[in-house]
Structure 1
Amino acid sequence: MTGKFSDSDLTPIAGGGLLDRRLLLKRGALFAVAAAATAEPARGDAAKPAQAEDFADPAWLHRTGGAFTSYGTPSKYEKYVVRNIGGNREPAGDGVSWTPLEDLEGIVTPSGLHFERHHNGVPDIDPKQHRLVIHGRVRRELMFTIENLLRYPMRSQFLFIECGGNSNAGWHEEPIQRSVGSFHGLVSCSEWTGVPLSILLDEAGVDEGASWVIAEGADANLLNVSLPLSKLMDDAIVGLYQNGERLRPENGYPVRLIVPGWEGITNVKWLRRLHVTDQPSMTRNETAKYTELLPSGIARMFTFVMDAKSLITSPSHGQTLEGPNVYQIRGFAWSGRGKIVKVEVSADAGKSWADALLDEPVMTRCFTRFRMPWHWSGQPAILKSRATDETGYVQPERDVLIKERGRNGYFHYNAIVSWAVDEDGAVTHVYA
């Protein structure tokens, strides 16, 4: 191909105009991306010969550029790509900030855009004074300084962290009309580096009868949660670095617990204490919170694992398609159970599905970027995506999730999300 689509390229493989995902790999194929309401789509045959007037003579070609800085910051022209803050309630600093998922590409969330959830603000911790203590049912209690921890062998892994309350507006009777990030943005993905917790627990010598660990943070709320010892011995990390640099204060500086694939509350920030015991402590965050009454009358507790989920970030709410054309549907998928093996996309409200292209590398418990070419005819359409992970778990439809969990839910909402595109190209959130 040389920048133009042939008729065969535009032959749908599923309803609503979904095209073969291999078209994304063909050399020279251009796709319009509905990235913003004002964006004009680039057609596959839109390239034109360069003209002299296309080569401007901007002022920056004629003056010396800016000086070096000790720490780089984003361009001032990208100042709109920021976290959406929803909080600072009483007490001050109790709230959240959402990652602007619709404005990002790739799979790594910049550290400065990683979502936040704080219960009593961000503590200003001097790393020279901070200590991590392991005590309880161990042969010897240990206390680590940050300097101690930085000397231990470390492991790096790309992992998502998702708040258990992410997407909870999906439980509402009516679909919320907000941007992707300010609805589903309590999830982010980073490269986390730190000391495997099993090394420290082995050094302390865990008693034979121990089975739980109470992890506590150093914020003024003293947030603490109960975690199975088996999980912490398996793959938990005492995190010291995020995306290659030391943790930022809002992400747990100087040290946080990283529990791969489990709900965000378990990834305790500002980690100060690990109490090894033989039973959970039944703290506020596992009784009054993070517990839900099912239709059967049974309370759903200790729902640690974040199930498979996918989300189309473009086109999505607030964006507008500028007329019939070939567009690229794109989004994220992730699962706390392991790798994503398949993402299917529908452009006809789920009547038919086609497999999307998954960007490499596909890693366990990490964001996976998916893409799908779509020939929009200009007629109303409903877009959906559906993820399947390596355990065979399939992301459920909303009505299926509600039937299983009832109307008392607040946490772990992972139902398929639907976007309606009207004849004018405007995109809204719908239940379909």
Structure 2
Amino acid sequence: EEAGLSPQAEWLLAEGADSAHMSRSIPIEKALDDALVALYQNGERLRPEQGYPVRLLLPGWEGNMSVKWLRRIKATEEPTHTKDETSKYTDLLPDGRALQFTFEMGVKSVITKPSSTMKLPRTGFYEISGIAWSGAGRIRRVEVSADGGATWAEAALTGEERPKALVRFRLPWEWTGREAVLQSRATDEKGQVQPARKAWLAQYSVNPYHNNSIVSWSVGADGSVKNVYV
């Protein structure tokens, strides 16, 4: 309202001052909903690596949309189709086509302990723990598997379950010394379930973007932990 936004404006172009001029088109509905222009983080000015002196923050949307080192915001009638939303950050489909403008973060979880490069020193009881999130809202459930997805047990969620925010989960587990494959699977308040890697690949083909599939950690007989694809 203070800027005098044109009634014809349907999109915003956010442009960064970095050497690559990172630029993204943002629907006006999102900008008027919960978008923030941030100067501070945790009570102090933004740090250089966080986008000092000012950055955009779009809750629930993928990080590449929250343009750092923000230099300008321009109202437009259509998306700008910058290089960062045509040649990059698109979803390649198995038939060769690509989806453009994937904004919302998919529901995802990841086990952070135990995880890669860690080693279980002995057999016995351990706590499997990690984080989960969804751009669509709150996390309602996280399940954990120690046998590569054959069986699942519901983990306990800790802390307040806030929309578009991280939540921690934990589950006690007894390691008997046998090889195991640890996985976590999250479900959000809209009923969206974190997909298995094979299901995600069947839908989106191979690309480095927007991957919210299940992460797997292999525990060897010697207690070593490493990432594996299941």
Task: Give yes or no for TM over 0.5.
Answer: yes
- Of residues 78, 82, 93, the one that matches 1:279 is 78
Alignment partners' CA distance in 2, 1:219 and 1:380: 46
How far has the Cα of 1:378 moved from its partner? 1.4
Q: Which amino acid aligns with 2:71?
A: R
Residue in structure 2 matched with residue 428 of structure 1 by the alignment: 226
Report whether the alignment pairs 1:312 with 2:104: no
Alignment partners' CA distance in 2, 1:253 and 1:317: 32
- 1:369–1:301 CA distance, 2 compared to 1 (3 A): same
Residue in structure 2 matched with residue 414 of structure 1 by the alignment: 212
- Of residues 395, 414, 419, the one that matches 2:194 is 395
Residue in structure 2 matched with residue 182 of structure 1 by the alignment: none
- Which SS does the other structure have where 1:203 is aligned? coil
Residue in structure 2 matched with residue 354 of structure 1 by the alignment: 153
How far has the Cα of 1:203 moved from its partner? 1.0
How far has the Cα of 1:293 moved from its partner? 2.7
Report whether the alignment pairs 1:204 with 2:6: no
- Of residues 168, 176, 181, the one that matches 1:382 is 181
- Which SS does the other structure have where 2:80 is aligned? coil
Note the alpha carbon deviations across 1:225-251, whole angstroms, 9 max, x for none: 111111010000011111121111111
CA contact (8 A) 2:157 2:170 kept: yes
1:319-338, aligned counterparts within 5 Å?
A: 319-338=118-137
Scaled by the length of structure 1, what TM-score is found? Answer: 0.52
Scaled by the length of structure 2, what TM-score is found? Answer: 0.96
Q: Rg: which structure is higher? A: 1
How far has the Cα of 1:215 moved from its partner? 0.8
Report whether the alignment pairs 1:235 with 2:8: no
- Which SS does the other structure have where 2:119 is aligned? coil
Q: Which amino acid aligns with 1:240?
A: L
Alignment partners' CA distance in 2, 1:205 and 1:410: 39
- Which SS does the other structure have where 2:39 is aligned? strand
Alignment partners' CA distance in 2, 1:420 and 1:295: 29
Alignment partners' CA distance in 1, 2:56 and 2:90: 22
Q: Which amino acid aligns with 1:414?
A: N
- Which SS does the other structure have where 2:52 is aligned? coil
Identity, % of aligned positions: 53
Note the alpha carbon deviations across 1:183-239, whole angstroms, 9 max, x for none: xxxxxxxxxxxxxxxxxxx21122222100001122343322111111010000011
Whose strand proportion is higher, 1 or 2?
Answer: 2
Q: Which amino acid aligns with 1:235?
A: D
- Which SS does the other structure have where 1:420 is aligned? strand
- Which SS does the other structure have where 1:231 is aligned? helix
Report whether the alignment pairs 1:369 with 2:168: yes
Q: Which amino acid aligns with 2:216?
A: S
1:247-262, aligned counterparts within 5 Å?
A: 247-262=46-61
Residue in structure 1 matched with residue 96 of structure 2 by the alignment: 297
Alignment partners' CA distance in 2, 1:213 and 1:232: 8
Whose helix proportion is higher, 1 or 2?
Answer: 1
